[in-house]
């Protein structure tokens, strides 16, 4: 992407920026609920982020969206991939990634995941395994692994949009800060120590940058203390604004603050954006099936549910929402919920939306990150289809599940 193209690519794509007529056509053609992913936007986001960090190695954190079409799109523009599970390693390889370029950052990895990673590394010695507990070193040694290892640091500082994603001060994640030099000595004796890794949290916006950079500063200090590593990976966590009135990250300012926080290191700087790359590249289309007037609220029932998008129920997350069938109707505060039998199955409460009517199509924005990844079959609901937009065309990249799919694995 040229400098001119980057300048034309906005830092954030708001829900209002999508073509509403196209969205109506997609809902009519493919049905709802429906995930829509714009692969051109995915690639543009990666290029913009990489341009802000020209001296860094920018990987994509696959857990944000592991769809094969997304991985293939990112590989096509030169992205490498960071994986947090064995299944993500498998998906990346299937999408065409060179396993020598993969980084496996596991948290309490199950045995079958470690087995898969070690087996993969036998054929691809460039693969890096990041450990967050000394037990994992024991388990790797039991598997006769002596290859590339990075140490995940717990910097003692957590940031992000919710306490459940502030990993930097959660004991579950990483080696305690003061123990890292001793662990590094052990790794050097038994394996090939290639890097240090840390991830302070997720959904970081401008107000969180100061704390985020404090965590990064600690990682830089430890890198200089440990020395002799190939890379220092400060993770991802860079957020996008979900509320319409929130400004996007100033990437140039963010990059400057990050470089200053890391300081002088004799190693390659790595970053792992996930949410920033895919969040605003995806949305959900859902059909209104019920309008219920009550003394306290107008309740709008839709065919999507927390099984389609669990973030509002799980994190209390705000997702923008618009009526793409009739955007010019007078707005009215409504409560929008799905068909799951729990009060948590609500996407919005008292939200001003162009007054919905039955069979209208609503769009739920910023669903490209941790949307389909967290979809489930709760209430025995088949998972939705996903279509990808690229080069002016649409195609199904995940078919809609059927009721037969829901019970297929049962015996």
203 in Cβ contact with 165 (< 8 Å): yes
**Given the residues 294, 341, 343, 391, the one annotated as active site:** 341
Q: What is the 3-state secondary structure (H, E, C) of 271-294?
A: ECCCHHHHHHHEEEEEEEEEEEEC
Q: What are phi and psi of 268, to 5 degrees?
A: -75, 130
The verdict on whether 341 is a catalytic residue reads: yes
285 in Cβ contact with 361 (< 8 Å): yes
Catalytically active residues are: 341
């Amino acid at each position: 992407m040229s400098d001119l193209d980057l300048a034309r690519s906005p830092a954030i794509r708001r829900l209002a920026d999508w073509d509403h007529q196209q969205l109506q056509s997609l809902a009519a053609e493919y049905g709802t609920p429906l995930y829509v992913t714009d692969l051109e936007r995915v690639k543009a986001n990666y290029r913009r982020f990489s341009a802000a960090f020209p001296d860094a190695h920018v990987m994509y954190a696959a857990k944000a969206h592991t769809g094969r079409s997304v991985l293939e799109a990112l590989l096509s523009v030169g992205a490498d991939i960071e994986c947090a599970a064995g299944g993500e390693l498998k998906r990346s390889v299937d999408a065409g990634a060179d396993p020598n370029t993969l980084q496996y950052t596991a948290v309490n990895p199950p045995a079958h995941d470690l087995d898969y990673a070690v087996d993969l590394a036998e054929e691809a010695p460039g693969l890096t395994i990041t450990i967050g507990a000394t037990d994992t070193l024991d388990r790797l040694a039991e598997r006769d692994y002596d290859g590339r290892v990075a140490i995940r640091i717990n910097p003692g500082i957590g940031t992000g949009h919710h306490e459940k994603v502030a990993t930097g001060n959660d004991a579950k994640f990483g080696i305690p800060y003061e123990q890292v030099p001793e662990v590094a000595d052990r790794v050097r004796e038994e394996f090939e120590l290639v890097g240090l890794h840390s991830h302070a949290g997720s959904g970081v916006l401008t107000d969180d940058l100061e704390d985020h950079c404090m965590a990064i500063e600690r990682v830089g200090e430890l890198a200089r203390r440990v020395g002799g590593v190939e890379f220092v990976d400060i993770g991802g966590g860079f957020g996008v604004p979900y509320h319409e009135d929130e400004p996007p990250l100033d990437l140039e300012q963010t990059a400057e603050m990050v470089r200053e926080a890391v300081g002088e290191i004799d190693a390659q700087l790595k970053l792992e954006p996930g949410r920033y790359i895919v969040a605003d590249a995806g949305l959900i289309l859902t059909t209104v099936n019920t309008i219920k007037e009550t003394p306290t609220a107008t309740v709008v029932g839709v065919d999507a549910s927390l099984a389609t998008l669990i973030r509002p129920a799980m994190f209390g997350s705000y997702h923008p929402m618009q009526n793409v069938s009739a955007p010019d109707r007078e707005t009215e505060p409504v409560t929008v919920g799905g068909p799951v039998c729990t009060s948590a199955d609500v996407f919005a409460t008292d939200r001003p939306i162009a007054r919905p009517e039955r069979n209208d199509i609503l769009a739920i924005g910023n669903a490209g990150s941790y949307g389909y990844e967290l979809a489930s079959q709760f209430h025995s609901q088949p998972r939705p289809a996903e279509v990808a937009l690229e080069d002016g065309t649409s195609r199904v990249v995940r078919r809609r599940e059927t009721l037969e799919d829901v019970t297929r694995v049962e015996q």
